[in-house]
Amino acid sequence: MEASFRRFAMRRTMNDTGLALIKTFESLRLAAYQDSVGVWTIGYGHTLGVHADMTMTLAGANQALADDLHGMETAVDAAIGTTATSDNQFAAMVSLCFNIGTWNFRWSSRAELSPHR
């Protein structure tokens, strides 16, 4: 089996290339701010439990991103099932899911390609 394409029985995780890409798109903010629609945000796009005057460290931002991505990885993994994808394809789908949300990803045209939707 070629190393870049795999079928996984266990939960997949974002590769380093995908993680770096998300970090460039999201940019790092260590102090809470309101995004373009007024949602309090911090770190690399983290929104859960964020409030005005909140700050975090770089380590905290990295952990919050890892925690956020865990849910996205799980959602993508469930949506595509055993469909063979490369690590970069999986990372791209996790990035999309991070930006549009798990519900929207599940019903997106990308997820429609999988028989496991």
Cβ-in-10-Å burial (0-12, 13-18, 19+) of 80 comes to buried
List 2, 26, 73, 112, catalytic entry: 26
Angle, helices 87-100/58-80, rounded to nearest 10 degrees: 110
Is residue 26 among the annotated active site residues? Answer: yes
Query: Distance between CA atoms of 91 and 26, rounded to whole angstroms?
Result: 15
CA 20, distance to chain mean position in Å, is 11
Catalytic residues: 26
